[in-house]
Amino acid sequence: MSVSSFRSKDLTRATALVYSSYGRPTEVLKVLCHTLEPPSHDSVQVQFLASPINPADINQIEGVYPLKPPMTTQLHSSSSSFVSSPPASTPAAYSSNSNSGSSSNSSDWPPVAVGGNEGVAKVIKVGSKVGHLKVGDWVVMGSAGQGTWRSHGNFKAKDLTKVRSVEKMNEGADSFALDVVQLATLTVNPCTAYRMLRDFKKLSPGDFIIQNGANSGVGEAVIQLAKPLGVKTINIIRHRPGHEEVTERLKQLGATHILTDDQLGKLETKELVKSWIQNSEVKLGFNCVGGKPTTEMARLLSKNGHLVTYGAMSRQPLILPASLQIFKNVHASGFWLTAWNDEHSSQERQDMINDVLDFMKQGQFAEINCTRNRWSVTESDTSVLEEKLLQVVQKATSSGHGKQVFVME
């Protein structure tokens, strides 16, 4: 066997949605076909099973998200190719649709980043010094910015978190009913909800939390993770057509009470909430909306309450009357899971994932509402693949289509 044929047998054909400059995702994303070398001694090679498109992924590609994955040339080699014309080496030339600077020679290509931050993958090759991961294990990303919109990838083993052990699967001891989409959407929304319920206030059974955007991914996870803790939830949703159905869904997930945002700030709502909480306390508030409705939500917190902001869907800031902070001692903080992951160890991340998985295995988690979009890992016509994938991105960036997930098959 010649060296070259040995090597080529060891290479993995892969496809990835990459970008080399910031802009509209459907314009800057391209499919890059490439080959992966075997993983280095501390790395593993994985095949992705499912990767969602989250709002932060879109913001990241637009260049308006604080976490910007470094653009690299590590996927560029003589066997790599872009389906459409490769991106120009300068964003300016590229955005003007000039072909100057484009080249079929990979050494001329600009560095790229792979889109996506969340996903579940199966380990297919293991580096020589990796101890805790085996071929067949399922993993999720231990931190953001690694790029998950791809068929395959090599990752440092320490940057992955195991969600399903091949040994337990073989023993039949891990035959739980979680599907790939539940696992693929485990590390952002449920983990954000998990941390926010733990890191700001000690909650005991009977305590209340209040949240807006209650039908967001995090909001639904909060409802479902609060319930087994005995923590009651007051959930604010938008008053718009279909809010009755949303109310019904949230109640089925375990929501204790629902308010529509038009009820906020009214005296009767204050009285209603009082009648709900009685001698208990609203210890925590979760805010992903901002603006005046959030001020009114903050007023419903009990003394010493803590408002945690993790989003700003209204694009409005948080507005807090001084009296709420001075006399009622209401605290306001932010939460960003990306920072938490960076500041904590692999073991701490693994513990969190295991806890959330336990909830899921107990059937505490409803399936998320999403559209599953096939990413064919065997598609020979990669221009067809690019067209299909960009249609999915298009749906994810326009309203009314709900959450989109790539399912690699």
Is 65 part of the annotated catalytic residue set? yes
Q: How far is the CB of 216 from its own copies (least distance, A)?
A: 14
Token look-up 């910015």 returns 145
Residue 310 near its own copies by CB under 8 A: yes
Span 130-159, contacts to its own copies by CB under 8 A: none
Instruction: Determine which residue in the list 117, 212, 295, 373 makes contact with its own copies, applying CB under 8 A.
Output: 295
Task: Name which of 340 and 365 has its Cβ closer to its own copies.
Answer: 340
* 238, β-bridge pairs: none
Residues that contact its own copies, how many (by CB under 8 A): 28
Q: By C-beta, is 105 or 323 nearer to its own copies?
A: 323
Active-site position among 19, 22, 65, 194: 65
Closest separation in Å from C-beta 292 to its own copies: 10
Rg (CA), the chain: 23
Q: What is the largest CA-CA distance in the chain?
A: 82
Cβ proximity to its own copies: between 324 and 390 the closer is 324
68 makes contact with its own copies (CB under 8 A) = no
> Distance (Å, rounded) from C-alpha 226 to C-alpha 69?
33
Residue found by looking up tokens 């016509």 in the block: 381
The span of 2-10, 147-155, 308-316, 387-395 binding its own copies (CB under 8 A) equals: 308-316
166's enclosing H/E stretch is helix 166-171
Cα gap 33→22, rounded to integer Å:
20
x/- letters, 323..362, toward its own copies (CB under 8 A): xxxxxxxxxxxxxx--x-----------------------
Instruction: Read off the tokens for 393.
Output: 């991105």
DSSP string, 36-89: EPPP-TTEEEEEEEEEEE-HHHHHHHHT-SS--PPPBSTT--TT-EESSPPPPS
333 backbone dihedrals φ, ψ, rounded to 5°: -135, 170
Q: CB nearer to its own copies: give 9 or 315.
A: 315
Residue 16 CB, shortest distance to its own copies, in Å, is: 27
Taking CB under 8 A as the rule, does residue 265 contact its own copies?
A: no
Q: Closest distance between its own copies and the C-beta of residue 303, in Å?
A: 9
List the strands of the sheet with 113-114, edge to edge.
Answer: 81-82, 30-36, 12-19, 113-114
Q: How far apart are CA 162 and CA 294, in angstroms?
A: 37
Q: Could you list the residues that contact its own copies (CB under 8 A)?
A: 66, 290, 295, 309-312, 317-336, 339
Which residues are part of the catalytic machinery? 65
